[in-house]
Structure 1
């Protein structure tokens, strides 16, 4: 079973240079950039993006945060090609070539295993609802191992809260996802937070985003609850 959705089915074929264009990027890129510029301010080091999709986000964020080195990844070969096409188009130097990565396997980027405690941040935008639950488990477990002690995991997407959808549109979206694949669906933030705690992560911040989405920030540590 495929790990995540194939964007080319939703956004149409790639352009002549291989770039895919996701409409969602044009809606959420600036709000996401503003949050990341706040939570990543003053940081340096390596940032891994999980499920880079078309590659538009990582190139946009790389331009906004030039002191960080971004490592895009995606399990889909077509997405990897699109990421690299966007990177070439932008002529940006702090975004590395994309890696075809299944997060349920050991993380290898640029031909090298990712060392424990080495990452400044892990980004995961609009992934865990269009992937089996074991993908979310793998992302959280790896974040607990691979982030620096002051590193951060940033998740973005729609979430239910305490068993309830936050908007009718999210409930409808959840039904649509499950009709496409019963292993997909809008995740409950309570469940995600519980798994994160088991992985040695504590939830630090929640940002309300447009279109009933959330940006959720986790850091290594233990909850005081």
Structure 2
């Protein structure tokens, strides 16, 4: 299951506060998935530049990846004021020089408050947001990434010819009870949406707890013999 507990109302993130007087918040799923995600991300990211994280949530991923990847500048973002408050509190607590203050950024919005970036990372957003957020993510990535730039997406998905795990089916039903626009996305739909913005799915990695990591590159094609090529 991809979620960090029971889903919350639209525009909110399922949080557990670390202390009543502390703006830093935590999501249990982060402690479980940040290691495997980081292991996969490390060789994929460029040697320098700015990484934009979409839907940063509590900010724990941002802190973890900024600490682990000191050669990169990490730019968190989230549409939720509650999330941005938590991110800012983590930033103040950890004082990492390569971690920027959070942006108020809604993936579904047509105009993102950020210029070109070198890579984009999005963890556990697609299933807990309307389809318009996925469309906006692809639109924004297609316009801000350089040729060959990375779009990394993590979460739970449906796949053609692959049975969906019972835990993911239950998670999907739980999501839809909270908001009918939410739910597990079909990988083929996500891939087609990305292709329309010049982004190619070059690799799919199985992850713990029935999740997938999707690795897209801008302006690349896939050869059946040699894999992804410019």
- The structure in which a higher percent of residues are helix is 1
Per the TM alignment, residue 35 of structure 1 is displaced from its structure 2 partner at its CA by: 0.7
Q: Secondary structure at the match of 2:87?
A: helix
**Residue 121 of structure 1 aligns with which residue?**
119
Per the TM alignment, residue 5 of structure 1 is displaced from its structure 2 partner at its CA by: 3.4
Worse-superposed segment, 96-105 or 190-199 = 96-105
Query: How many matched pairs?
Result: 214
TM-score (ref. length: structure 1): 0.89
CA–CA distance in 1 between the matches of 2:10 and 2:162? 26
Determine if contact 1:7/1:79 at 8 Å carries over to the other structure.
Answer: no
Cα distance change on mapping 1:150 and 1:223 into 2, 3 Å: closer
**Residue 87 of structure 1 aligns with which residue?**
91
RMSD of the TM alignment (CA)? 1.8
5+ residue gaps, structure 2, are 1-8, 224-230
Per the TM alignment, residue 15 of structure 1 is displaced from its structure 2 partner at its CA by: 4.3
Cα distance change on mapping 1:129 and 1:165 into 2, 3 Å: farther
Q: Secondary structure at the match of 1:203?
A: strand
Per the TM alignment, residue 13 of structure 1 is displaced from its structure 2 partner at its CA by: 7.2
Indicate which of 13, 20, 23 corresponds to 1:6. Answer: 13
Cα distance change on mapping 1:18 and 1:202 into 2, 3 Å: same
**1:171-190 to 2 correspondence within 5 Å?**
171-190=169-188
Determine if contact 1:197/1:223 at 8 Å carries over to the other structure.
Answer: no
Per the TM alignment, residue 165 of structure 1 is displaced from its structure 2 partner at its CA by: 4.7
CA–CA distance in 1 between the matches of 2:161 and 2:187? 9
**1:36-115 to 2 correspondence within 5 Å?**
36-40=41-45, 42-105=46-109, 106-108=111-113, 113-114=114-115
Indicate which of 192, 198, 212 corresponds to 1:214. Answer: 212
Determine if contact 2:148/2:220 at 8 Å carries over to the other structure.
Answer: no
Cα distance change on mapping 1:224 and 1:28 into 2, 3 Å: closer
Cα distance change on mapping 1:163 and 1:99 into 2, 3 Å: farther
